[in-house]
Chains A and B, each alone.
Chain A
Amino acid sequence: KQEVTQIPAALSVPEGENLVLNCSFTDSAIYNLQWFRQDPGKGLTSLLLIQSSQREQTSGRLNASLDKSSGRSTLYIAASQPGDSATYLCAVTKAAGNKLTFGGGTRVLVKP
Chain B
Amino acid sequence: GAVVSQHPSWVICKSGTSVKIECRSLDFQATTMFWYRQFPKQSLMLMATSNEGSKATYEQGVEKDKFLINHASLTLSTLTVTSAHPEDSSFYICSAREGGVTQYFGPGTRLTVL
A76 and B45 alpha carbons, distance in the complex (Å): 25
Given A41-B91, A43-B93, A43-B106, the answer on whether A96 and B46 have CB atoms closer than 8 Å is no
> Which chain A residues border B43 with CB–CB below 8 Å?
89, 102-105
B75 interface residue (CB < 8 Å to A): no
A33 and B95 alpha carbons, distance in the complex (Å): 16
Count A-B pairs with CB separation below 8 Å. 49
A79 interface residue (CB < 8 Å to B): no
- For residue A85, give the distance in angstroms from its CB to the closest CB of chain B: 15
A39 and B4 alpha carbons, distance in the complex (Å): 17
Interface string of A17-33 (1 = CB under 8 A from B): 00000000000000110
Interface size on A, residues (CB 8 A): 22
| Beta-carbon contact of A104 and B34 below 8 Å | no
> Which chain B residues border A41 with CB–CB below 8 Å?
91, 108, 110
Partner of A97, one of B6, B32, B41: B32
Which of the segments B62-70, B81-89, B96-104 contacts the partner chain? B96-104
Besides A41-B110, A44-B44, A104-B43, 18 other A-B contacts (C-beta < 8 A): A41-B91, A41-B108, A42-B108, A43-B6, A43-B108, A44-B93, A44-B105, A45-B105, A89-B43, A89-B44, A93-B101, A96-B100, A99-B46, A102-B43, A102-B45, A104-B42, A105-B42, A105-B43
Which residues of A come within 8 Å of B, CB atoms? 31-32, 36, 41-46, 49, 89, 93, 96-97, 99-105, 107
